[in-house]
Structure 1
Amino acid sequence: MRLRAARLAPRDVLRVGAVGLHARRARVVLSALGIAIGIATMVAVVGLSQSSRADLMAQLDRLGTNLLTAEAGTDSMGNETKLPKNVVAMVERIGPVEHATATGDVDARIRRSDVVPEERTAGVTTQAVRPDLLAALNARMGKGVWLDIAGERLPVTVLGSVAAQRLGITEPGEKIMMNDEYVVVVGILEPVELVPNLDRVAMVGFPAAERYFGFDGHPTTVFERSTDASVEDVRAVLARTVNPGGDGPVKVSRPSDALAAKAATDKGLTTLMLGLGAVALLVGGVGVANTMVISVLERRQEIGLRRALGATKGAIRLQFLTESLLLSSLGGLAGAVLGAAATYAFALAQGWIAVVPPWSLAGGFGATLVVGMVAGLYPAIRASRLHPTAALNAT
C-alpha cells in the first residue's frame, strides 16, 4: 500500500507560519516597518490628493464656474484699450447674461499715513468698483461693510485681505492716504478665490474715484455671470460686445479655470509621490526577503527535523511562504491604518473634506501580498531543498 503525504490544514499552516514570527519579534517589527512606511506613504498621498481635489471642487461648486472676465489689453504700440463707460449695460444686453459689473484701474498712490514717503506704496493698488461687485464674485466681507450707493460717492475704501495686512490695518475705521487725500477704511474683504488680485487692492466707488483721484470713468475689467449651459456662447461674443469698435485687444478668461488647473496639477504631484511610496515599499520588500533568508539559515535544524518526521518539500515551502505573507500583511495593515489616520489628521488641520478612497486601501494591501509572495519565494524554495541529514548536522 502506497503511503500518501499528509497535508496541513489551513489553520495549521497559519499556526506554523506564525510561530516563526513570534520567535523573532524585534526583527519582525523592523521588517514590517519598512512595508508599513511604503503603504502608509501611498495611502496618504492618494488620500491627501483626493481630499485636496474634493476641496477644490467644493470651492468651484460654491463659487460657480459661470464667471467670465473681459480685460482691456494694450496694442502693439503700448496703448491701453479704452472700454466704453456704459460697458456693463452693453454686456447685460447679451441674452444669457444674468449679472454684470466692472472695475477700473485708478492712478492713486497708497500710503499708511503722510509720514510715509510717497514712493513706498506697500505694493497696494487702487481700483474703482461698483456696489454689485461683491455679489457678482460671491465674495464675502471679513470685517466692516461693503460700499453701498452712498458709500461709493464718499472718500472711503474697502481693502483686500493682503492689502490690509501690508498697510497694517486690522479694523475698519482707520485712515489711509490715497495720493494726498485721507480716506476711511470701512471694510476688509476675505480672500477672493476667483479673483485673487483683488486681495492686494484698495477699492473705492466709481463716483469717488472720478471726484477725488482724477479717474476717467472707463472700466478696465468686466465681470459677468451667465447660465452654466451658455458660458461658452457668451465667451464667444463677449470681447466684441465690450469693445465693439475693435480698436484694441480684449482678453476674455474664465477664473474658475485656474482652480481646475490646480486640481490637474495635483495629479502630477500625486504620481511623483506614489513613485516615492513604491520605492519605500520595495525597500520594505527587500527587508522582508532578508529576514526570511536569515530565518532559513538560523532554522536549518528545525527544517531538518521536520523533514525527518515526514514533512514534504511542499509543506516546508508553504511554511516559509506563509511566514513571509504574514510578515508583509502585518506591515500592510499597519501602513493602511497609519496612512488613513495621517490623511484625516492633515485634512482636518487644513479644513479639507477628508477622502480616503477604498481602492487605495485595497490596492495597498494587495501590494503587500505581492511583495510578501515575491520576497518569500526564494527563501521558501531554499528551505525546501535542504537535505534532512545536512540540516540536522548544521551548527
Structure 2
Amino acid sequence: MRTVRPTRRRTPADRPRRPVPSRLPPRDVLRLGAVGLRARRARVVLSALGIAIGIATMVAVVGLSHSSKADLMARLDRLGTNLLTAETGKDWDGNVVKLPKSAVAMVERIGPVQHASATGYVDVRIRRSDAVPEERTAAVSAQAARTDLLSALGAEVARGVWLDRAGERLPVTVLGAIAAERLGVAAPGEKIMMGDRYVVVVGILRPVELVPQLDRVALVGFPAAERYFGFDGHPSMIFERSPDHTVEEVRAVLARSISPGSEGYIKVSRPSDALAAKAATDKGLTTLMLGLGAVALLVGGVGVANTMVISVLERRQEIGLRRALGATRSAIRTQFLMESLLLSALGGASGALLGTAATYGFALAQDWRPVVPPWSLAAGFSATLLIGVLAGLYPAVRASRLHPTVALNAA
C-alpha cells in the first residue's frame, strides 16, 4: 500500500526570483562617458568652445568689474572723500558773482574745517613764446593759487618745486600736467609767455585726480598775479577739507559762510562724487556684459545638445548592442547624460581659466590689483553643469528609448 505524502504549500521564498540588472559604478560611468568624447575629439572641442566663450566672458566681466572697483576704492581712500569745493556762479542777469577776498578766512572759522585754500581766475593769455600769435593759447588758462593749495588737495609736484612765500611774489609759475604737455615744457627752468611778460616755470604738478581742471592751468601766486597781471584778488574757487563725519554738516553751511546773502549763486560740490558715479556706470556696463556672456553660454548649450543628438544617431548600433547584452534604459540615459556633463565641464573649466587669465592680464596692464571672486568661478562652473544636464536630457532619453532590434538593424 502506497503512502501518500502530504504536499507542502509553496511560499514566496520558493518562487523563482527575477534577475536584477547590474548597475555600473560611478567610476565606470565616468570612464564610459569619457570614451564617447575621445572618439570624436574635433566635434567635442568645437562644442566645448561655445561654453568656454560664455564662461570666459562672464568670469572676465565680473573679475574686471571687481578689479576696477578695488582700484577705485583704493584711490578714494588715498585721495579722501572729505574735499568740498565752492565756486562762483552767475546772477539772474548773467553777471559773475565774485567771492569775497576774505572767503578763505571765513571758511576757516567753520569749526570742523581742517584745511582751506583757494584759486582765482587770471585774465591773461598764455603762449609758449612771443613767436606764437596771441590767439594761439594752447587751451591753457592762468589761475592764482595760495601756497597751501597742495596740502588742501593732497596734490604733488612731479618735477621742480611748489610756490613758497618768496615764489608767490615773483613772476614764476607751476604748470599742471596737461598744461606742461601742451606748452611743450619738459622740465623746470624753461620760460613761457603770460600776456606780454615771460615767466619762469619752477615746477610741474602730477595729475590732480580730484580736481582735474587744474591739470590744464598755469598757477602763479596771488601777490604776483595782482602785481604783474591785473588780478583783482577775488578767489573763484574755494577748496576745503574736514573730517569725514562732518562733511555734510560743513556742506550745508559752506556757501552761507563764504558769502552771506549770496549763497544761492555759489555752487558747492564734492569731487569724490564723480568717482562714485563712475562706479555706478561701471556697474551698469557689467550687467550688460554679463547678459552677453549669458547669451554666449546659451548658444554653447544649444551646441552641446546638437552634438549629443548627432552622437545618438551615429551610435544606434552601439546602443542596440548594449541593450541586447542587458544594459537598462537607465544605464543608457546615464551614459549620455555623463557625456553631456563632461563636455560642458570641459568647456566650463577652459572658460574659467581663460576668463581668469584675461582678468589678470588686463588688470595688470591698467596697474590694478587683479581680483577674481571665487563665487564667480563657482557660479560659472555650476552654470555649465546645469547647461550640460539640460542639453543632454533629450538626447539621453531618446537613446534610452531605442529598441534593441531596431537599433541593431540601423545602417
Aligned to 1:337: 353
Match of 2:137 among 121, 136, 146: 121
1:365 aligns with 2:385: no
1:387 aligns with 2:409: no
Match of 1:153 among 144, 159, 169: 169
CA contact (8 A) 2:122 2:225 kept: yes
**Aligned partners of 2:148 and 2:370: how far apart in 1?**
35
**Aligned partners of 1:61 and 1:51: how far apart in 2?**
15
**Aligned partners of 1:297 and 1:135: how far apart in 2?**
76
1:294 aligns with 2:310: yes
**Aligned partners of 1:208 and 1:159: how far apart in 2?**
15
Q: Which amino acid in the other structure matches residue 96 of structure 1?
A: P
CA contact (8 A) 2:176 2:215 kept: yes
1:67 aligns with 2:67: no
Aligned to 1:102: 118
Q: Which amino acid in the other structure matches residue 38 of structure 1?
A: G
1:111-134 CA distances to partner (integer Å, 9 max, x unpaired)? 111111111111111110011111
1:151-178 CA distances to partner (integer Å, 9 max, x unpaired)? 1111111111111111111111111101
CA contact (8 A) 1:176 1:183 kept: yes
Please identify runs of 4+ aligned residues in structure 1 that moved more than 6 A. none
**Aligned partners of 1:235 and 1:137: how far apart in 2?**
17
Aligned to 1:208: 224
Match of 1:277 among 280, 293, 311: 293
Which stretch of the first structure deviates more once superposed, 244-253 or 227-236? 244-253
Aligned to 2:281: 265
Displacement after TM superposition at 1:140 (Å):
1.3
Displacement after TM superposition at 1:248 (Å):
5.9
1:351-362 matches, within 5 Å, as: 351-362=367-378
Aligned to 2:46: 30
Go from structure 1 to structure 2 and tell me whether the alpha carbon gap of 1:194 and 1:303 turns closer, same or farther (over 3 Å shift): same
**Aligned partners of 1:216 and 1:247: how far apart in 2?**
21
**Aligned partners of 2:261 and 2:169: how far apart in 1?**
31
Go from structure 1 to structure 2 and tell me whether the alpha carbon gap of 1:362 and 1:247 turns closer, same or farther (over 3 Å shift): closer
Aligned to 1:319: 335
**Aligned partners of 1:205 and 1:334: how far apart in 2?**
60
CA contact (8 A) 1:81 1:248 kept: no
Q: Which amino acid in the other structure matches residue 348 of structure 2?
A: G
Aligned to 1:221: 237
1:73-107 CA distances to partner (integer Å, 9 max, x unpaired)? 11111111111111111101100000100000110
Displacement after TM superposition at 1:190 (Å):
1.1
CA contact (8 A) 2:256 2:263 kept: no
* RMSD of aligned Cα (Å): 0.9
Q: Which amino acid in the other structure matches residue 68 of structure 2?
A: S
- Residues paired across the two proteins, number: 395
Displacement after TM superposition at 1:247 (Å):
7.2
Q: Which amino acid in the other structure matches residue 156 of structure 2?
A: R
**Aligned partners of 2:195 and 2:65: how far apart in 1?**
46
CA contact (8 A) 2:47 2:307 kept: yes
Match of 1:111 among 119, 123, 127: 127
Q: Which amino acid in the other structure matches residue 230 of structure 2?
A: G
CA contact (8 A) 2:178 2:215 kept: yes
CA contact (8 A) 2:141 2:216 kept: yes
Aligned to 2:186: 170
Q: TM-score of the superposition, structure 1-length normalised?
A: 0.99
CA contact (8 A) 1:103 1:128 kept: yes
Match of 2:199 among 183, 206, 209: 183
1:93 aligns with 2:132: no
Match of 1:15 among 24, 31, 34: 31
Q: TM-score of the superposition, structure 2-length normalised?
A: 0.95
User: Quick check: which has more Rg, 1 or 2?
Assistant: 2
| Secondary structure at the counterpart of residue 100 of structure 1 | strand
Displacement after TM superposition at 1:245 (Å):
3.3
